Amino acid sequence: MSEPLLQVRRLGVTFGPFTALQDVNFDLSAGETLGLVGESGSGKSTLARAILRLVPAVRGEVLWRGRNLLGCSAAQMRQQRRDLQIVFQDPLASLNPRMTVAEILAEPLKIFEPAMSARARQLQIGAMLERVGLAVRMAGRYPHEFSGGQCQRIGIARAMMLNPRLLICDEPVSSLDVSIQGQIVNLLLDLQQDLGTAMLFISHNLAVVRHLSHRVLVIYSGRLVEIAPRDVLFAAPVHPYTRTLLAAVPNLSNSSRVPGPSAAGEPPNAAQEPPASLDTPSGCVFYGRCAFAQPACALAQPPLQEVAAEHFVACRRSRELMC
C-alpha cells in the first residue's frame, strides 16, 4: 500500500465515566477498504464518529494526510469534510424529509462549489443518480416516497457528490433485505474502483466484510484486538475473541470450519456477555470471557504486536495460539 491517507494514533473517547475507545491505532491507505467488526457496544460507530469529529475525542491523534484533525479549528475542519464523508446505518433517518432528492444532493455542491451554476449542478445530480442506479426523474421526490434500499442509494449519492477520498460506511446494509444488501455492496465496490476512494466499512455481517475488505480490524470493548489481511484473518484467526466471532457464524461446510483452540485450552465461550462495568479493566479486556486466560492477563492490557507480516494481535499468548 502507498503512504497512508489516514493514521489513527492512541485515540480515546469517553462518555462520562464510560470509556468507549482506548488507545486505538491503525492506518488506512488510498483505495484500501478496511473492515471493522465487533459485537454491539464494542465501539465501532463511536470510532467512525470520532474520526470525523462528530463525537469528541479525549486523547490521541487522527492524522489525515499528515494533518491532525483533532487540532483543526471549526473552519479548517469544514474544509476537510469534502474529502471525508459517511453513509449512516438508517437510510431514511439520515435524509431530511423536507427536502427533495435534488435538494439533498445539491446541498454539498452549494457549500463546497458555490460558483457552480444551477445548470451544472442539475447535470451533476442527474449523473450521480444514474450512477447509483436511480432514474433522473426521481430527483423531485421526497425521501418517504422511496424504499429503504433506494434511500440508501440516495445517501451514498450524497456522500459521493464531491468525490471524497475517504468514505466511512457505518452499518450501511444492516437494515436492508438480503437481496438489496448485495446490490448496495456491489455499488460501493464499483464506486470505489472507479474513483479510488478509501473506505472504512463497519458491519456485523462477516460475509459482507470478507467480500469487501482488504484488511480487517477486530474491536472488543473499545480496543482493537486483531488487525490482519482479510484472507489471513478468516483462514487463521489468532485472538480468542476473533475466533469466537468467526465460530459464531453458521457454517454448513465442515471443510471450512474456523480453526479452534489448541489442546492448551477449552473452546472459547461465546455465550457469555461482555463486561457491564463502567470501569476500564487494568488487564486484557477479554479476560473475563477468555478460555485461554492466565493470571498475568488480568494485570496489564497486552499491546498490538506483529505476529506475522501485517498481522497484529493484542494477546499475551498469540504465539502459542498461532501453532
Q: Look at residue 174 and tell me whether its pLDDT is greater than 50.
A: yes
What is the DSSP secondary structure assignment for residue 261, as one 8-state letter? -
Q: What is the pLDDT of residues 28-61, one digit of tens each?
A: 999 999 999 999 899 999 999 999 999 999 999 9
Domains of the chain: 4-213 (3.40.50.300), 219-321 (no CATH)
Segment 151-173 shows an average pLDDT of 94
Q: Coil, strand, or helix at residue 75?
A: helix
Angstrom distance (rounded) from CA 291 to CA 99: 53
Distances (CA, A) of 142 to 96, 105, 175, 179, 268: 9, 12, 20, 24, 49
What burial class does residue 19 get, using C-beta atoms within 10 Å of its C-beta: 0-12 exposed, 13-18 middle, 19+ buried?
buried
Average pLDDT of the residues of the chain: 88
261: pLDDT confidence band, cut at 50, 70 and 90? very low
Angstrom distance (rounded) from CA 71 to CA 283: 31
Angstrom distance (rounded) from CA 142 to CA 115: 26
pTM, full prediction: 0.88
Which of 146, 152, 190 has the alpha carbon at shortest distance from 172? 152
Which of 245, 248, 273, 243 has the alpha carbon at shortest distance from 261? 243
Per the model's pLDDT, the better-predicted residue between 254 and 306 turns out to be 306
Q: What is the pLDDT of residues 134-145, one digit of tens each?
A: 999 999 999 999
321: pLDDT confidence band, cut at 50, 70 and 90? confident
Residues in the chain: 323
Q: What is the pLDDT of residues 63-77, one digit of tens each?
A: 999 999 999 999 999
3 state SS for 198-218: EEEEECCCHHHHHHHCCEEEE
Percent of the chain with pLDDT over 70: 89
249: pLDDT confidence band, cut at 50, 70 and 90? confident
Long-range Cβ pairs for the range 234-237 (8 Å, 24+)? 234/206, 234/210, 235/259, 236/322
Segment 182-190 shows an average pLDDT of 91
279: pLDDT confidence band, cut at 50, 70 and 90? low
